[in-house]
Amino acid sequence: MKELKEKIRESTERDGGPQVGSMALISVLLRSFTIQASWNYERLLGLGFLFSMMPGLRKISSDEDSLRNSASRHLELFNSHPYLTSYALGSSLKLEEECSGSGDVNEEAIRRWKKALLSPLGSLGDSLFWKSFRPLCGVLGVLLSLLLGWIGPIIYLITYNSLHLYVRTRGVFHSYAKGTESMTEFSRSLYRRFPKWFEGMICVLMGSLLVLLYKGTAYLPPSSGTGEFFLLLVPVFWVLNRYFSPRFLLYATSIVVTVSVVLWELLIV
CA distances 115 to 46, 84, 121, 124, 161, Å, are 12, 14, 11, 15, 28
Contacts of 264 (CB under 8 A, 6+ apart): 217, 218, 219
- Categorize the per-residue pLDDT at 206 as very low, low, confident or very high, splitting at 50, 70 and 90: confident
Question: What average pLDDT does the segment 78-93 reach?
Answer: 90
Q: Say whether pLDDT at 39 is over 50.
A: yes
- Domain residue spans in the chain? 2-119, 121-268
- What distance, in Å, lies between the first and last C-alpha atoms of the chain? 69
Please, what is the angle between helix 246-263 and helix 134-148, to 10°? 30
Residues 6+ apart with CB under 8 A from 145: 152, 153
Whether the predicted pLDDT of 29 surpasses 90 = yes
Coil/strand/helix, residue 78: strand
Q: Which residue has the higher pLDDT, 5 or 126?
A: 126
Q: 164-195, pLDDT tens digit by residue?
A: 999 999 999 989 988 888 888 777 766 777 88
Q: Tell me the sheet residues that pair with 215.
A: 220
| Burial class of residue 55 in the structure, from the number of CB atoms within 10 Å of its CB (0-12 exposed, 13-18 middle, 19+ buried) | buried
Question: Of 107-111, 220-224, 232-236, where does mean pLDDT reach its minimum?
Answer: 220-224
**116-152: b (≥16 Cβ within 10 Å) or e:** ebeebbbebbebbbebbbbbbbbbbbbbbbeeeeeeb
Between CA 64 and CA 251 the distance in angstroms is: 52
Higher pLDDT, 27 or 147: 27
**Which of 75-79, 197-201, 241-245 is the least confident region?**
241-245
pLDDT at 87: 92
Could you report the per-residue pLDDT of 110-165, keeping only the tens digit for each?
888 888 888 888 888 888 888 888 888 888 888 888 788 888 899 999 999 999 99
pLDDT of 103 > 70? The answer is no
Report the chain's mean pLDDT, rounded to a whole number.
78
Asked if the model's pLDDT at residue 37 lies above 60, the reply is: yes
3-state helix, strand, coil in the chain (%, to 5): 80, 0, 20
Residue 214: predicted pLDDT: 65
138 neighbors 48 (Cβ within 8 angstroms): no
What pLDDT is stored for residue 241 in this prediction? 67
pLDDT at 31: 93
To the nearest whole percent, how much of the chain has pLDDT over 90? 16
Q: What is the pLDDT of residue 166?
A: 92
Please provide the size of the chain in residues.
269
- Smallest CA-to-CA distance from 71 within 83, 82, 61, 81 is with 61
Farthest CA pair distance, the chain? 80
